Chains A and B, each alone.
Chain A
Amino acid sequence: MLYDFFIEPFATYGFMKRALAACFALALGCGPIGVLLVLRRMSLMGDALSHSILPGVAVGYLIAGLSTPIMGVGGFIAGILVAFVATLVSRYTILKEDASFVGFYLIALSTGAIIVSAVGSNIDLLHILFGQILGVTNYALILIGIITSFTLVTLAVIYRPLILECFDPTFMQSIGGRGGFYHLVFMILVVLNMISAFQALGTLMALGMMMLPAIAARFWGRSVWGIFLYAFGFAMFSGYCGLLLSYHFKIPSGPSIILVAGLCYIFSLILGRYGSVARRVLV
């Protein structure tokens, strides 16, 4: 009975297995990235990025038609450009990261819309590029796996300078630490993970799985690695439960996964170990 409910759907159907594996890879790769975005106060960047990639996707479509890899590469280039320019602006003008990102993502989005309309077609390119957790194929899974591994390795290498840059940028500068460089590497990782997640799973899933577990984890973890682990845990839990809900109760899969993640967040907000509502009230 328990087996039927909790295990059987994944054992019987390949697409369920793949969806679960995709959740695992996404939790592993995007979890730490999401945590770092939250710590850097860039939580809304993911949303801005999902719109910024449109001009790149449109140009990719112009060049090669409905080819997902080419559109994906175009999107990646556009995303990196926006991230790069917005970061420069936030470092060298009075604007901070949130304002500079908003400015450039709006420009990118409207440029993309104009390119698309010039092509004359009304195909929703982003809709075509963005995937669906239930539509993850073996090829997409391998791609996510490669990007996740690359991300984890790179993060492990640049961990110390990146944390320092987030925590005390003046100190970083005073020891000649080249904080800007590590920030840029981090940005590249963010854009890479997001594009791959969008392609495989769609924007709702990708952003939801990246940010909600990270936000929830903030209430449980004491050290940065601790928060990473909690984020991974919440993401995996959400993926698993969401898929089961979609299977047994016939609700769309992406939203149900995000809903579980959202419930984890609310739960953490109220009852988390550090800085939650309960802690404030009881202390």
Chain B
Amino acid sequence: MIDFFLDKPSASSVSHDLNHPDHALVVKDLSVAYRTHLALEKVSGYITKGSLTAIVGPNGGGKSTFLKTLMNFVPSSAGTIQISQDYEKSIAYLPQQSEIDKTFPLTVRDVVALGNCQHQGFFKAFQPSGQSDIDRHIKEVGMSGFGHKNLSTLSGGQFQRVLFARLAMQEGDLILLDEPFTSIDGYTVIDLMKIIKKWHKQGKTILVVCHDLELVHEHFPQTLFLARKVIGWGDTKEVLTAENLRRATRIAHNLDTLTHTELNNFEESEEG
């Protein structure tokens, strides 16, 4: 009962005990069902430590669900996820910009400072080094001088930069980003991509849900192509083929109208 207030789903299929030299996380036959439909079906594969992977696919294909399941926000109905021991308590997650209250009376510095809470906890006083960290991260996202501005004065792109700075404060080793570029202006996308690549260079393992296939081709060495099932998982060149794209498009058109069995039959007929 008290678990309700600790925000833990009661049955967890995510374990943090993976002890593998190269793998950051391993997924085996993962299936996730919502009430009315199956969001993910028998997803299997792994992410290498230090890799930069884009997650692409049609709408409704399960990309956000995949990240949410990794974070244990959504229970799986079958299969397992194993995350490396090294990453326990070191996962930084940026959801789609939905539940944040932008009218809240906080400044940019306040929000970035919150990133500290993950390893410092809530009750330790801020060290002076923490203050300079905040300044550094604000500068890195190109928001110098905005430290004392209220959130309500920021544009969409500026706000996203601030969230990236907060993410940087978390100093996570495994970084999960859910559609960070959606509805953001082009300049900001370029700047944010630069930051992601910098993190990649620092050895962090990064997963990014992205719709812009050109961006993926250009910057992401690895890709996971999801359309409820795994269409492809591996080197971007090999995954983002015309054939895979066609297949995904066909599935996308039918994701809403067909049930699970019908979809299976449809895919089999397409393959045959």
Interface string of A154-194 (1 = CB under 8 A from B): 00011011011011111101111111110110000000000
Residues of A within 8 A of B166 (CB): 171
Shortest CB-to-CB span from A208 to chain B, Å, is: 23
Assembled-state Cα–Cα distance A221/B7 (Å): 32
A96 interfacial contact with B, CB 8 Å: no
CB contact list, B101-133 vs A, under 8 A: 101, 104-107, 110-111, 114, 117-118, 122-123
Assembled-state Cα–Cα distance A275/B103 (Å): 10
Residues of B within 8 A of A178 (CB): 5-7
A224 interfacial contact with B, CB 8 Å: yes
**Across the interface, do B105 and A175 meet the contact criterion of CB distance under 8 Å?**
no
**Across the interface, do A173 and B101 meet the contact criterion of CB distance under 8 Å?**
no
Residues of B within 8 A of A161 (CB): 117, 122
Q: Which residue of A lies closest to B124 (CB)?
A: A160
Given A178-B5, A224-B105, A226-B105, do A168 and B100 touch, yes or no (CB 8 Å)?
yes
Shortest CB-to-CB span from B37 to chain A, Å, is: 17
A204 interfacial contact with B, CB 8 Å: no
Given A167-B100, A167-B104, A170-B95, do A175 and B117 touch, yes or no (CB 8 Å)?
yes
Instruction: Indicate which residue in B99, B106, B114 contacts A169 across the interface (CB closer than 8 Å).
Output: B99
Given A177-B117, A178-B6, do A168 and B101 touch, yes or no (CB 8 Å)?
yes
Chain B interface, number of residues (Cβ within 8 angstroms): 30
A139 interfacial contact with B, CB 8 Å: no
**Across the interface, do B4 and A91 meet the contact criterion of CB distance under 8 Å?**
yes
Shortest CB-to-CB span from A283 to chain B, Å, is: 12
Assembled-state Cα–Cα distance A164/B113 (Å): 11
A39 interfacial contact with B, CB 8 Å: yes
**Across the interface, do A164 and B114 meet the contact criterion of CB distance under 8 Å?**
yes
Q: Which residue of A lies closest to B150 (CB)?
A: A222
**Across the interface, do B117 and A166 meet the contact criterion of CB distance under 8 Å?**
no
B46 interfacial contact with A, CB 8 Å: no
Residues of A within 8 A of B107 (CB): 222-223
Shortest CB-to-CB span from A27 to chain B, Å, is: 20
B160 interfacial contact with A, CB 8 Å: no
**Across the interface, do B123 and A166 meet the contact criterion of CB distance under 8 Å?**
no
Given A160-B122, A175-B170, A176-B89, do A167 and B106 touch, yes or no (CB 8 Å)?
yes
B93 interfacial contact with A, CB 8 Å: yes
B34 interfacial contact with A, CB 8 Å: no
Q: Which residue of A lies closest to B5 (CB)?
A: A180
Shortest CB-to-CB span from B14 to chain A, Å, is: 13
Chain A interface, number of residues (Cβ within 8 angstroms): 34
Shortest CB-to-CB span from A90 to chain B, Å, is: 12
**Across the interface, do A167 and B5 meet the contact criterion of CB distance under 8 Å?**
no
Shortest CB-to-CB span from A222 to chain B, Å, is: 6
Assembled-state Cα–Cα distance A219/B77 (Å): 48
A92 interfacial contact with B, CB 8 Å: yes
**Across the interface, do A166 and B101 meet the contact criterion of CB distance under 8 Å?**
yes
Given A168-B99, A175-B170, do A160 and B117 touch, yes or no (CB 8 Å)?
yes
Residues of A within 8 A of B95 (CB): 170-171, 174
**Across the interface, do B105 and A223 meet the contact criterion of CB distance under 8 Å?**
yes
Q: Which residue of B lies closest to A178 (CB)?
A: B6
Q: Which residue of B lies closest to A176 (CB)?
A: B89
Q: Which residue of B lies closest to A159 (CB)?
A: B122
Assembled-state Cα–Cα distance A183/B111 (Å): 19
Shortest CB-to-CB span from A80 to chain B, Å, is: 14
Q: Which residue of B lies closest to A160 (CB)?
A: B122
Instruction: Indicate which residue in B4, B89, B122, B150 contacts A180 across the interface (CB closer than 8 Å).
Output: B4
CB contact list, B15-73 vs A, under 8 A: 71, 73
**Across the interface, do B6 and A224 meet the contact criterion of CB distance under 8 Å?**
no
Q: Which residue, of B6, B105, B111, B150, has the highest number of chain A Cβ atoms within 10 A? A: B105
Residues of B within 8 A of A258 (CB): none
Assembled-state Cα–Cα distance A258/B227 (Å): 59
Shortest CB-to-CB span from B88 to chain A, Å, is: 10
Residues of B within 8 A of A174 (CB): 71, 73, 91-93, 95
Shortest CB-to-CB span from A274 to chain B, Å, is: 8
**Across the interface, do B4 and A224 meet the contact criterion of CB distance under 8 Å?**
no
A227 interfacial contact with B, CB 8 Å: yes
Residues of A within 8 A of B118 (CB): 175
Assembled-state Cα–Cα distance A167/B107 (Å): 12
Interface string of A220-233 (1 = CB under 8 A from B): 01111011000000
A114 interfacial contact with B, CB 8 Å: no
Q: Which residue of B lies closest to A275 (CB)?
A: B152
Assembled-state Cα–Cα distance A135/B95 (Å): 53
| Residues in A lying within 8 Å of B, measured CB to CB | 39, 88, 91-92, 157-158, 160-161, 163-164, 166-171, 173-181, 183-184, 221-224, 226-227, 275
A-B contact pairs, 22 of them (CB 8 A): A39-B101, A160-B114, A160-B117, A160-B122, A160-B123, A161-B117, A161-B122, A164-B122, A166-B101, A166-B104, A167-B106, A168-B100, A171-B114, A173-B7, A174-B95, A177-B117, A178-B6, A181-B6, A183-B5, A222-B107, A223-B106, A227-B105
